[in-house]
Structure 1
Amino acid sequence: MRLAVALLVLVAAPLAAQSGMPPAPYAYTQLEDPALEAEATALMYTLRCLKCQSQSIADSDAPMAGDMRHQVRSRLLAGESPDEIRDWLTLRYGDYVSYEPTVSSTTWPLFAIPLLLLALVGFVLLRRLGKRGTDEGKSA
């Protein structure tokens, strides 16, 4: 009997952990001011859903994306600028939350390494093409 109760508690624990709270007010409701809603929507398309990872929070149906949409809309209503909201979300969730990363002490290699690789490829191509041109000149 105790084993059955223990198994029931073990199975029911994840169900009890589910939030019974309704979604945040602005998760699925647009703002009444069309200009503010357009600003919110534009910002939401530049923010990544941390649960889906391949969708913006504007496109995602994940509860976390709904909470983030609510934060964007409520902070815009409070008078914050989109840049302030992006900075707050980046501080809270990390650089990964933004589809438009900024150059910082942690992200500079993401910008520098491709440029270095392009320079290296260009250098190798110039050396090879230069050698081929001088080799053809000698054989003629």
Structure 2
Amino acid sequence: MSDGDLERFVRAQEGVHDQALAELRDGRKRSHWMWFVFPQLAGLGRSATAQHYAIDGLDEARAYLAHPLLGPRLVEAARVAATAPARSADDLFGGIDAMKARSSMTLFAHAAEDAAPFRAVLDRWFHGTEDPLTVRLLDVGG
């Protein structure tokens, strides 16, 4: 996996990442950045945008985490999300995007050497429960 394959995320996050963090810190997502800030596993999203930003599998997820810009940004966004001042995942992300957040955190919890930031989001907002469809698509059991 080359860094060039991940450039779609770098380009998409340009000028948006700070806004995403600000919204999470405020406890409410208000704009459209979910696909490329908390990407999901391929096979989940149906829209063209979701498919464009879908992560192919554990190898691409690990490459994303190892990327010098994307990895630290994802960890930071997860840490902010885990401590956001909201009452529920639906309040923080909105209903549809809460499902996307859960699937993204499940994917990266399985891909990361240090899953703690992603598990913290799952623990805080989803009672520690992984997204079952993501787990099934990863074929990791559980």
TM-score for the superposition, normalised by structure 2: 0.25
Larger radius of gyration: 1
TM-score for the superposition, normalised by structure 1: 0.25
